[in-house]
Chain A
Amino acid sequence: MPTTTSSSSSSAASSSGNRQADVFSRLASSDPEVKLKALREVKNQIIGNRTKKLSFLKLGAVPAIASALSDADCSSNSSILVQSAAALGSFACGFEAGVQAVLDAGVFPRLLRLLTSSDEKVVDAGARSLRMIFQSNQAPKYDFLQEKNMEFLFSLLNSENENVSGLGASIIAHACGTSVEQQVLCDAGVLEKLVLLLDGSLSQREACLESLATVLKSNPEAVSRFVGLEAGRYMSSVTELTKDRYPRTRLLSCLCLVVIYNTSPSYFLNMGTKSSLVTTLLELLNDPGQSGDEAALGLSSLIAEKEDLQKLAYEANAIKNIVDILKTGSELNPKRLQGLFLSLAELCSKLEDCRCSFLSLEMLDLLVNELRHKNADVRTAACICFRNAARSIKNLSAGRFTTDHVMLPLVQLLHDPSSSVQVAVLGALSNIVLDFSSPKSTFIEYGGIKQLIELSKSMDPNTRCSSLRALRNLMFLADNNRKELFYSEVKAQGFVALISDPEPSVQEQALALLRNLVDGCINSIEFVFDEDGLILDTVGRQLRKAPQAQMAIQGMYVLTNVASGTELHKEAVMQQLFPQPQAESNNFMLKFLQSHESQLRSATVWTIINLISPSSPGALDRHVKLRNEGIIPQLKNMVNDACLDVKIRIRTVLSQSMSFGDN
């Protein structure tokens, strides 16, 4: 018996789904009136509504609208052209999947053609949608080097229509990448055209500022050309715009100035300008929208490596402001978080006041939390923040960084899939392991040494380098237990592999690590003699290969430390310095003594001091050998070495020398 069921009220989801499907089917109608109405409906539903964009996208709306546009193009139906272009533009607005769909639908060339329409509304719609596409990373590459492309670009810039000229500027802002492209654009007179937009409408001004930043970035010639335009008038305009009433204009003009400052700081001799640039960016950090996100990154870029600006920022209360924003508790955009952490990191990079101020604000817990953020850039930035804050010896020795609460998440990041995070956390750990205040090391307890050794075998040279740096710091003034623990994981063969790494920077860190390993008590020297002196032989071999100065310095310090030991140790060093009679006297010691690097000269002299220290029996013989090889005479020539440290060491050697009855 058939039963009747009472119709339940349809859930919102399914009825809206039906409505969407209905509109979608009307898009394909052959009746232009129906089609136009459907297009308007779709457009009005998706504008501002990311959720609807996604659901219409899944229905396949984009190809449908694209074909409506193509048909209208052929039949010159303006209304349909306008509505379909506007709909496509909305799909592409800030929605990457939408941009992809629009490009995949192959409608890009059609949109370009709309720019030549006689109907102003069609031109506007086309220009707007193209501008949305060009704001995305997926925009098609624009070949500036092709003449007809340049002509087209300039025709856009010359247009009276502000959407069209804005499009031209947008293309430059997002597609110009290389210095060659910057050059080609400048030579074609793009700067002169762009600056005219500064006096235009709001959107033209903003497009102009964005494109200027792209063209001037890291290009001193372009910067000089821009600043020279009308005796600096436009440079002043941009500076004035940092006080504009619209936040986005303030932001874009600041970013432009940051680019100019980083490329050619000489145009910013006026302290007032630097100061107001810093304070404007700090104010913009509070903007809740996109401007705030970009301001944070802009600030970090501005103060990077510049102690004077870091000081200015600190005095303008930057640390407190940034910490307040971080503590608001609301979900911050990853880009903003990254920018804020990088800014904090830069502030703490050189100034102890900043570090103390930052750490006194109870920030460690928050920072530790962000180590688990799902975005790799945020994790990296948080690690860099840790690294720089840990440069504060006062706070480090107060044990702030070596609690389990901090250590564990950091050590866990050694396994992070992203190599930039790995390198960043290695940097942080390198500093943290320098804490000598605690007798036990939480890091080692968490199996840190094993992990570092694993990472020293990574495919990425930066990771290898960073892990060795951390190990080097870990072995600094370490006790025997720690050294044994470490060595047992590496062994002679492992060390040989590290010292023979293809990357010079990695070799350098490996040798520095070895230097620290053999430093200290005499027993430590025995490591290099393991397996028949394999490690010592490798060091000697590397030194004989005419290495880079930085590597040579570490290598010589290894020899210095070994030569500070017993007779046997000193003789072994002599063996490495002067192996079996060679065909030509390829004496690297002489070369090192003549190096431009004072540290290398110093390290070499130290080795000599240890070799001929009068308290050891074989000193006299070694002295004779050194004299015969021309080393002692060379030192006599260096009594007035430019470097004070070297000079003093040489005097030590020469007085030792004299005690052997040498003139």
Chain B
Amino acid sequence: MATSKKVITRDEWEKKLNAVKLRKEDMNTLVMNFLVTEGFVEAADKFQRESGTKPEIDLATITDRMAVKKAVQNGNVEDAIEKVNDLNPEILDTNPELFFHLQQQRLIELIRQGKTEEALEFAQEELAPRGEENQAFLQELEKTVALLVFEDASNCPVKDLLDISHRLKTASEVNAAILTSQSHEKDPKLPSLLKMLIWAQNQLDEKAVYPHINDLSTGQLETLSE
């Protein structure tokens, strides 16, 4: 098949790859950064001991942060709020959007537990004022309160809110806020590198035919015909 693009065989490609030099320390740092940002304390500690790589922040602070994240993931939002406030009272005081999302999650948990009366009271007492204080939250507020209106919340138009993924979303938000307050980057570097890889492959696709990495989890080289 005639093509105007340059064709690189697997052999040539592997040769080119092998010519690139990487430092072990850089890779260790990447791994440590991932473990620390995602909050895998024990793994980070073990990795430090086994590889000698220094973590970029005090591992003790990770434990506190992970406790908060776990509480949200388990639906114990009130507990999470108390823990965040113990860690740093400024976070929720200066982050109205985060605070609103945590309150919203609390309401969702009450609805999930079937505590309708309590949920109603909570919505009136805690969420409505957020909407008054800040118009930007009104739309989301309405969506959340809509859960109360339907007999079967798990089958209504806004049922996504009840999904466990919503807890994870809130947990992630809180995690990011804590990291920011500790002047740490909220995202690990690894995903950015992988995104760069995919982008670079897309760019190169316009000019050449060569072995791709299609499955990021394995990193296997696959030639086009396979």
Contact = CB atoms under 8 A, between A and B. Distances in A.
Contacts of B85: 43-44, 47, 86
A457 interface: no
Contact of A40 (B82, B94, B182): B82
A90 B133 contact: no
A369 B81 CA distance: 42
Contacts of A12: 120-121, 124-125
Interface in B96-131: 96, 99, 117, 120-121, 124-126, 129
Given A44-B82, A202-B180, A202-B183, A15 B121 contact: yes
A633 interface: no
Interface string B127-143: 00100110110000000
A34 to B, nearest CB: 17
Interface of B, secondary structure class, is helix
B129 A50 contact: yes
Interface residues of B, number: 27
Given A43-B85, A93-B90, A49 B136 contact: no
B89 interface: yes
B95 interface: yes
A43 B81 CA distance: 11
A513 to B, nearest CB: 47
B92 interface: yes
B93 A48 contact: yes
Contacts of B121: 12, 15-16
> Looking at chain A, what size class is its interface with the partner chain?
20 to 34
A475 B90 CA distance: 60
A329 to B, nearest CB: 11
B183 A47 contact: no
B124 A89 contact: no
A515 interface: no
A128 B86 CA distance: 13
A65 to B, nearest CB: 14
Given A201-B183, A203-B183, A47 B92 contact: yes
B129 A51 contact: yes
Nearest to B92: A48
A47 B89 contact: yes
Interface of B: 81-82, 85, 89-90, 92-96, 99, 117, 120-121, 124-126, 129, 132-133, 135-136, 180-183, 185
20 contacts: A12-B124, A12-B125, A13-B124, A15-B121, A44-B82, A44-B85, A47-B81, A47-B99, A48-B93, A48-B96, A48-B99, A86-B85, A90-B93, A93-B93, A93-B94, A94-B94, A125-B89, A203-B181, A203-B183, A246-B180
Given A44-B81, A86-B85, A330-B135, 15 more contacts: A9-B117, A13-B124, A13-B125, A40-B82, A43-B85, A44-B82, A48-B93, A49-B126, A49-B129, A51-B132, A90-B89, A128-B89, A201-B183, A202-B183, A203-B183
